[in-house]
Amino acid sequence: MLSQTFSLSAVLQLTFISALRGDKWTYNGSEGEHHWPKHFPYCGGTFQSPIDISSGLLRFDPTLRPIEVQNYNLSPIEQLTLGNNGHSMQISLPSKMFISNLRHRYSAAQLHFHWGSSGQPTGSEHTVNRKQYAAEMHVVHYNSDKYPNISMAVDKSDGLAVLGVLIEVGEFNPAFEHFLKFISGIKYRDQKVQLPGFNIRALLPTRLDEYYRYDGSLTTPPCYPSVLWTIFRDHVTVSQKQFLGLATALYASYPQESAHTPLHSNFRKPQLVDSRVVLVSFKEGRGLHGTLTVLPPFKRKQVVQQLLVGDLADLADEGLYQLLPSNTQKLRAGERENPDDRQSLARPKQQIVNPFFGKKSQTNRYVGKLGLAANTLCYASLEHRVFHRLKQTHNENQLIQTLRDEVYPELNLKSYLDCKSDLALPTIRNILSGRPTDEASELDRSLTKALRHRRKTSTAIKKSGIMTNPGGSSTAVPEKRVYPHPWLLPMEWED
C-alpha cells in the first residue's frame, strides 16, 4: 500500500512539474489543444478561458469603474524586448506599469497577441455573440501587492489580471508600427530584439469605461484558473497590410529546423461557461436584456452561511423559499430598482468576504462563521488533495475529473460571492458533504424532491452529469446549467 501511495504521488508530482516547466504543446496536430489535458490537467478543468461572451451571460454591475492604467506612456529611452516564443509574439513590459483601481495593485509583465491567418483573418480567442475578430491582444498583469513576480503569481487564485483588446481589420493603426517594424528580427522561435519604449496606452481602445469582466484562466498551458479577465467592449483596428505582416511573418519553429512551421491561427477555442456570468460596466443596448433578480448582499451571505454552519434540518423543514426576501424584485436592464434597496446593493463586494483554497481538510477548511479560509490557493498544491481522491489506478481522465471535483465547487462559491457566477448544484452538494450527515441528507432529499416536481428533470440531470457519491462529493460540472430551484439563482444587481 505504501509503495502504491508513493507511486501515485510521484505520478501526480511529475504531472504538475511538467506543467510548470512547459512541455511541448501546439494549437493543432498531435500536441493540439484537445491533447493539452494529458500533460496539463487544468486545461481540462474548470473556469477555463476564453469564452463566448453571449448576451445571456451579461449582468450589469454598477460598481465597475473605468479601468485606470498608470505609467503606460513609456519613454523611447527605455528598452523593451520583442520576442517570438513559438506560440505568439510577445513584448516585455516594465513593472512600473500597473492597473490602479482593482482590489490589489496589478503590475504589467508582458503583452502578446493571438491572430488568424492570411486566408482566414479570424483569430481572436474571445468571441462576442459568436463573432470572432481578426486578432486579440492580451496585456498581462500580476498581483504585485502579494507576489514578487509573475512566476509566483501565475498559479494563485488572485494572481493575474489581463486586459483583452479585440482587433479588427480596418483603418491603419500607427501605434502598432512601433513594434511591427521590428518583426523581421524575430522570424523564428526564441529570437528576440530590442525596441524603444512607446505609449502602450495607444494600443488600447479610446474608451476604458466599457468592458466585460469575468473569472477565467490562462488560455495556454498550464491553464491555471487564476485570471481576472477584462475584455474591452470597443475593438481597435489595424490595416490589412499590418494584419498580414503579423499573420505571415513568423514561424513557430527554430531557424535550424529543415521544415519551418508558420505561426498563425494561434488561438484557443471557446470553453465551457461553468455557471459563470459576465459582469458588464455598461447598461445601455447591445445585449443587456432579460430579467435580473435583485437580492441584497446580506441575503446572499445568509444563503451561504446557512449552508455552511446553519441548521440544515430547519432549512429543509422551512423550505428553501424562506431564504429569499419577500420583496424580491425582477428588473429589466434600463429600469430602476426600489430606492430603499440602493444602500444595501451599492456595496456588495465590501460586505462579502471571499473564500480561498487552503491546505485544510474537507470538514475544517472554512474559518469563522462563514467558514472562509484565509489562505490563497496555489493550484499546484492541490496534489495532496487529488491523491486522496484517486483509488486503484491513475489515468489522465481520472486526474482531470478529480481536479474538476476539487476545484470547481470552491471556485464557484468564491465567484458566486463576488457576483460573478450562479451558485451551482455541485457546489451545494460539495458544501453539504462537509456537514452533519443526517441534516445534509435531509436537505439533499429536499433538493431531490424539488427536482422531481420539475418537468424533464431526470433528463436534464443526466445531460448535466450531476450525481452525488456515497461520500457526498459532486462529480462533473454540468455542460448546460440546470437550476432545479429558484434559490440557486440569487443575484444582486442594480441599474
Residue 167 shares a structural domain with residue 307: no
Residue 37 belongs to a domain = no
User: Domain boundary at 280, 314, 344, which?
Assistant: 280
Residue 327 shares a structural domain with residue 382: yes
Residue 29 belongs to a domain = no
Residue 266 shares a structural domain with residue 358: no
User: Domain boundary at 280, 301, 318, which?
Assistant: 280
Question: Exposed, middle or buried, 485 (CB in 10 Å: 0-12/13-18/19+)?
Answer: middle
User: What per-residue confidence (pLDDT) applies to 363?
Assistant: 32
Taking only the tens place, the pLDDT of each residue in 52-89 is 999 989 988 888 999 999 999 999 999 999 999 999 99
Taking only the tens place, the pLDDT of each residue in 172-208 is 999 999 999 999 999 999 999 999 999 999 999 999 9
Residue 154 shares a structural domain with residue 303: no
Which CATH number is 236's domain given? 3.10.200.10
Residue 225 per-residue DSSP state: S
User: What per-residue confidence (pLDDT) applies to 108?
Assistant: 98
Residue 294 has pLDDT above 50, yes or no: no
Residue 460 shares a structural domain with residue 378: yes
Residue 286 belongs to a domain = no
Residue 332 has pLDDT above 50, yes or no: no
Instruction: Indicate the number of domains in the chain.
Output: 2
Q: Which residues are catalytic?
A: 87
Residue 263 shares a structural domain with residue 380: no
Phi, psi of 195 (to 5 degrees): -140, 150
Residue 220 shares a structural domain with residue 295: no
Residue 9 belongs to a domain = no
Residue 164 shares a structural domain with residue 298: no
Predicted structure pTM score? 0.78
User: Domain boundary at 249, 280, 311, which?
Assistant: 280
Question: DSSP readout, 344-382?
Answer: HHS-TTTT-PPP---S--TTT---TTTT---SPPBGGGG
Other Cβ atoms within 10 Å of 1 Cβ, number: 5
Taking only the tens place, the pLDDT of each residue in 263-286 is 999 999 999 999 899 999 998 655
Taking only the tens place, the pLDDT of each residue in 363-405 is 333 333 344 433 567 887 776 667 666 654 566 778 888 888 8
- 331: domain range? 291-488
Residue 308 shares a structural domain with residue 243: no
Residue 355 belongs to a domain = yes
> What's the helix, strand, coil split of the chain in %, to 5?
35, 20, 50
Residue 271 shares a structural domain with residue 296: no
**Choice between 340 and 227, residue whose per-residue pLDDT is larger:** 227
Q: Do residues 286 and 53 make contact, with C-beta atoms less than 8 angstroms apart? A: no
Average pLDDT for 151-165: 95
Residue 28 belongs to a domain = no
Residue 18 belongs to a domain = no
Q: What's the chain's average pLDDT?
A: 76
Phi, psi of 49 (to 5 degrees): -125, 155
Residue 21 belongs to a domain = no
Residue 70 shares a structural domain with residue 190: yes
Residue 433 shares a structural domain with residue 333: yes
User: What per-residue confidence (pLDDT) applies to 376?
Assistant: 61
